[in-house]
A and B are shown apart, each in its own frame.
Chain A
Amino acid sequence: DIQMTQSPSSLSASVGDRVTITCRASQNIINYLNWYQQKPGKAPKFLIYAASSLRSGVPLRFSGSGSGTDFTLTISSLQPEDFATYYCQQSYGIPLTFGGGTKVEIK
């Protein structure tokens, strides 16, 4: 199985801050890397596909980068509605696997 390691597991930030979350794959996954946002009691919401392509309707303050084994999700200016848990996920190999999540909390 391809292991996905996210860091940090949690962070505290203020509205307006720039936030970066990293995700590392245990092997080369090219760009088959996707990002999701989950709020308490809700299903995950798909944000970014193919490492850096923004899903239609997702705010431009979200961006993704990386290829191979190292990837990042950046929120350029954190908004109140962005406080949530973020997951990376690889679709290169079966089984599909997820990172452990990064909880973004209010400072």
Chain B
Amino acid sequence: QVQLQESGPGLVKPSQTLSLTCTVSGGSINGDNYYWSWIRQHPGKGLEWIGYIYYSGITNYNPSLKGRITMAVDMSKNQFSLKLSSVTAADTAVYYCVRWEYGEGRPLDYWGQGTLVTVSS
């Protein structure tokens, strides 16, 4: 059973960089059909896809986040990470790391429990 677990600071100051890591267990991050994604949910709101990284390092980011995103993968630790720069209060959200399975239907099949990140001084 694949499990994902987010980790990182729960409080970030405005203008600083939000940094989160996702640790994958029960499966390898270097599977051919899997893209490792980040999704966020603003308090009481819907779901927003942030982007994905493939184990080879190929990335694809949501243009709405305007070049503030960097993702990386560490195969030796079976982890991937998210950095979001120049944060504002609008980036306060629950952040989920998610596996995107590139098979039939291409579902987001395994989710971390989520971590709340608050942007505040």
A101 nearest CB across to chain B (Å): 5
Q: Is A63 an interface residue (CB 8 A)?
A: no
Contact across chains for A43 and B47 when beta carbons are under 8 A apart: no
Q: Is A91 an interface residue (CB 8 A)?
A: yes
Q: Which of B42-65 contact A (CB under 8 A)?
A: 46-49, 60, 62-64
Contact check: which of A53, A94, A97, A98 meets B60 at CB < 8 Å? A94
Q: Which of B91-117 contact A (CB under 8 A)?
A: 96, 100, 104-114
Contact across chains for B46 and A34 when beta carbons are under 8 A apart: no
Contact across chains for B112 and A98 when beta carbons are under 8 A apart: no
Complex CA gap A55/B109 in Å reads 9
Contact across chains for B107 and A98 when beta carbons are under 8 A apart: no
B39 nearest CB across to chain A (Å): 8
Contact across chains for B111 and A44 when beta carbons are under 8 A apart: yes
Complex CA gap A96/B98 in Å reads 13
Interface of A is mostly: loop
Complex CA gap A49/B62 in Å reads 22
Contact across chains for A100 and B108 when beta carbons are under 8 A apart: no
Which residues from A are CB-within-8-Å of B112?
43
Contact across chains for A53 and B105 when beta carbons are under 8 A apart: yes
Q: Which of B37-87 contact A (CB under 8 A)?
A: 37, 46-49, 60, 62-64
Q: Is A83 an interface residue (CB 8 A)?
A: no
Contact across chains for B109 and A46 when beta carbons are under 8 A apart: yes
Q: Which residue of B lies closest to A94 (CB)?
A: B60
Which residues from B are CB-within-8-Å of A34?
105-108
Contact across chains for B107 and A49 when beta carbons are under 8 A apart: yes
Contact across chains for B104 and A53 when beta carbons are under 8 A apart: yes
Contact across chains for B113 and A43 when beta carbons are under 8 A apart: yes
Which residues from A are CB-within-8-Å of B49?
95-98
Q: Pull 6 A–B residue pairs with CB atoms less than 8 Å apart, ordered by A.
A: A42-B113, A43-B96, A46-B109, A49-B105, A50-B105, A98-B46
